[in-house]
Chain A
Amino acid sequence: MSQTLEGLAAIVNEVAGTPIEDITAEKSFVDDLDIDSLSMVEVVMACEDKFGVSIPDGEVKNLRTVGDAVAYIDAQS
């Protein structure tokens, strides 16, 4: 598990309570992890704080899976 994935998994666990081991790259935030649009704002805020990146609203719709978010964060940092 990459450091980014590990950090993101901790955030999703905090926001939605999903067990860490279930938070894998192919999982969809909405369909698999019970992250609604409000919770997604919380996830984005926490990622920006944790990884020191900026995720504009326009990008968020492209981050469908956990893997999408990890790739975006890794490309920014």
Chain B
Amino acid sequence: MTDSTRRVVVTGLGATTPVGGDVATTWDGLLNGRSGVRMLEDERYTDLPVRFAGQVAVEPLEVMDRVEARKLDRCQQLALIAAREAWADSTQPEIDPERLGIAFATGIGGIVSLLDNYDILLSRGWSRVSPMSVPQLMPNGAAAWVGLDLGAKAGIHTPVSACASGAEAIGYALEMIRSGRADVVVAGGTEACIHPITIAAFAAMRALSTRNDDPTHASRPYDLGRDGFVMGEGAGALVLESAEHAAARGARVYAEVASVGMTADGHHIAQPDPEGAGAARAMRLALQGAGASPTDVIHINAHATSTPQGDIAEATAIKSVLGTSVDDVAVSGTKSMTGHLLGGAGAVESVAAILALHNRIAPVTANLENPDPEIGLNVVSGEPRKLRDGDAVVLNNSFGFGGHNVALIFRSV
């Protein structure tokens, strides 16, 4: 059944992020360099080395029914909000439920619900542990709720690959349609794991920025002063559809999902390969799969987490893949504004990459004041940048602890 020539397109977008509660507000924020990073006011953070994070701009309860929200972990609330926006944006295709699939990822799942219920176990005993705690904590919970909401029966899937999860879900959705299992798939990623233990755990790895006195400038990819990533929360969602199906119903198409390249580093559990060899292979595979050459690439939404090593490894990989074309490619690091949405990152950044292609304008990389000379990329900073017209592709990179590399290519239509 697999038909690698079966074209797959994007017909709907959704997002709720620290920069905005929907796609339009988020996109406006990314073009204008608006940071969604804020102090964590809760006193439980007082003694931690990191006391800020990218917290969603719109609290779920502002846009979701209270009774529905109380059943859900926060990562599931965010997933549903983004998925419903994407579905509405696609004008809700009429589809046989058995031809509708879900691929919705998370890196960590409902850890905050699990921890809250552990506190209840210790303070009040097992009989007060919520009967919803298992559906809330299971990593596939967000995908399952989205599937129930839309009535999807072709299959519901949750790839887990740390910070590459959201991108992997989009790759999975692409393959689900190409393999003939579904005609429409809602794909995305979500994360909502801001909690003292996760902050402490990432801080223990020395992975987080500790710029507590200036949180909006803490996430600074490619800047010499970068000192780690900033944890964020949020979700992104895309409606993927076979080109045939979209054409038959006259759907508005943002872009084609041209290909996905997925590799593993085989290097270290949490550190990137310094040469970015695995990342480079993922990008090459993606270009090859799309039948595109480096000169077709006009924009990269980079993984660019603002860690000292990671940004250089990715830049090295990008330069090795693009060769002399690298100077013509506008690279943006939007985590500078959203923080790092972990399992939600690949999905939100795919939304951004698709809008950059669709609108031919690349968002900024905020906080780039003293560019690191080792990076050597054509980074968009200060003002958003106009991208050239004509046939083109954009690239979205996502990498995860464990050595996961996912490169997605979107092509103009």
A residues with a Cβ closer than 8 A to B are 15-17, 38-39, 41-42, 45, 48
> Across the two chains, which residue of chain A brings its CB closest to B129?
A45
Interface size (B, Cβ < 8 Å)? 10
Q: Closest CB of chain B to A64's CB: distance in Å?
A: 19
Contact across chains for A42 and B65 when beta carbons are under 8 A apart = no
Q: Which of A16, A17, A38, A48 contacts B131 (CB 8 A)?
A: A38
B70 partner residues in chain A, CB cutoff 8 A: 15
The 9 closest A-B pairs by CB, nearest first: A17-B67, A41-B131, A38-B131, A45-B128, A38-B132, A42-B131, A16-B67, A42-B130, A45-B127
In the bound complex, CA of A15 to CA of B130 (Å): 12
Contact across chains for B127 and A17 when beta carbons are under 8 A apart = no
Q: Closest CB of chain B to A48's CB: distance in Å?
A: 8
B127 partner residues in chain A, CB cutoff 8 A: 45, 48
B268 near A: Cβ within 8 Å?
no
A15 partner residues in chain B, CB cutoff 8 A: 67, 70
Give 9 A-B pairs besides A17-B65, A38-B132, A42-B132 with Cβ atoms closer than 8 angstroms.
Answer: A15-B67, A15-B70, A16-B67, A17-B66, A17-B67, A38-B131, A41-B131, A45-B127, A45-B128
> Across the two chains, which residue of chain A brings its CB closest to B135?
A38
In the bound complex, CA of A41 to CA of B128 (Å): 10
In the bound complex, CA of A70 to CA of B65 (Å): 28
Please list 17 pairs of residues, one from A and one from B, whose beta carbons are closer than 8 Å in the complex, sorted by A's number.
Answer: A15-B67, A15-B70, A16-B67, A17-B65, A17-B66, A17-B67, A38-B131, A38-B132, A38-B135, A39-B131, A41-B131, A42-B130, A42-B131, A42-B132, A45-B127, A45-B128, A48-B127
In the bound complex, CA of A45 to CA of B135 (Å): 18
> Across the two chains, which residue of chain A brings its CB closest to B124?
A49
A38 partner residues in chain B, CB cutoff 8 A: 131-132, 135
> Across the two chains, which residue of chain A brings its CB closest to B128?
A45
> Across the two chains, which residue of chain A brings its CB closest to B130?
A42
B128 partner residues in chain A, CB cutoff 8 A: 45
Q: Closest CB of chain B to A73's CB: distance in Å?
A: 17
Over the window 44-70 of chain B, the binary record of Cβ atoms lying under 8 Å from chain A Cβ atoms (1 yes, 0 no) is 000000000000000000000111001
A41 partner residues in chain B, CB cutoff 8 A: 131
Q: Closest CB of chain A to B289's CB: distance in Å?
A: 43
B66 partner residues in chain A, CB cutoff 8 A: 17
Q: Closest CB of chain B to A68's CB: distance in Å?
A: 20
Over the window 119-131 of chain B, the binary record of Cβ atoms lying under 8 Å from chain A Cβ atoms (1 yes, 0 no) is 0000000011011
> Across the two chains, which residue of chain B brings its CB closest to A41?
B131
In the bound complex, CA of A72 to CA of B277 (Å): 68
In the bound complex, CA of A45 to CA of B125 (Å): 12
B132 partner residues in chain A, CB cutoff 8 A: 38, 42
In the bound complex, CA of A43 to CA of B70 (Å): 13
In the bound complex, CA of A15 to CA of B66 (Å): 9
A39 partner residues in chain B, CB cutoff 8 A: 131
Which of chain B's residues 230-284 have a Cβ closer than 8 Å to chain A?
none
B130 partner residues in chain A, CB cutoff 8 A: 42
> Across the two chains, which residue of chain B brings its CB closest to A42?
B131
> Across the two chains, which residue of chain A brings its CB closest to B65?
A17
Over the window 343-372 of chain B, the binary record of Cβ atoms lying under 8 Å from chain A Cβ atoms (1 yes, 0 no) is 000000000000000000000000000000
B67 partner residues in chain A, CB cutoff 8 A: 15-17
> Across the two chains, which residue of chain B brings its CB closest to A46?
B128
> Across the two chains, which residue of chain A brings its CB closest to B68?
A17
Q: Closest CB of chain B to A43's CB: distance in Å?
A: 10
